[in-house]
Amino acid sequence: MTRVLAPLVFAFACALRAAFAATAPDEMLADPALEARARALGKELRCLVCQNQSIDDSDAPLARDLRRIVRERLASGASEAEIKRFLVERYGEFVLLEPPFAPATWLLWAGPFLVAAAGAGLVLGFLRRRAAGAEEPAELDPEERRVLATLIAGESSERAP
């Protein structure tokens, strides 16, 4: 019974959490479209106290203050980019959960692809070398041929006494 119920309860709790996040009803903007923009923007901004949560998820007082600032500024007509700039000026690019694509971060963005490409290169090289090796085994020189012949002869004579 618990085996069936536990995942259900867990899923329900997750859904509940996703529905409410940390944004309290009294913080919300009256205009649903603006509130939706505020929620979306809040998900992209890092809570500096809990650091791996967005301000939309965090219960920290600073996250609440930042949510309020986001809403005030959206309500007064600021764009998402302007609000991000406002916060980056104060807290640095660390406040953005998704780092911007800039010269300083291109390695970060390209990193996984570079590693995948290097891995693919290694595998291809290995496969090609193995295929090449399988096609043309080293030729035996006359000395090896002679030893081999003796061995085969000796073995067959032992087997058939």
Q: Which residues make up the interface to other proteins (CB under 8 A)? A: 48-49, 51, 61-62, 65-66, 69, 88-92, 94, 138, 143-144, 147
Closer CB to other proteins, 14 or 104, in the complex: 104
**Which of residues 7 and 154 has its CB atom nearest to other proteins in the complex?**
154
Closer to other proteins by Cβ: residue 17 or 68:
68
For residue 21, the minimal CB distance to other proteins (Å) is 20
Minimal distance, residue 58 CB to other proteins, in Å: 12
* Contact (CB, 8 A) for 148 and 156: no
Task: Give the shortest CB-146-to-other proteins separation in angstroms.
Answer: 11
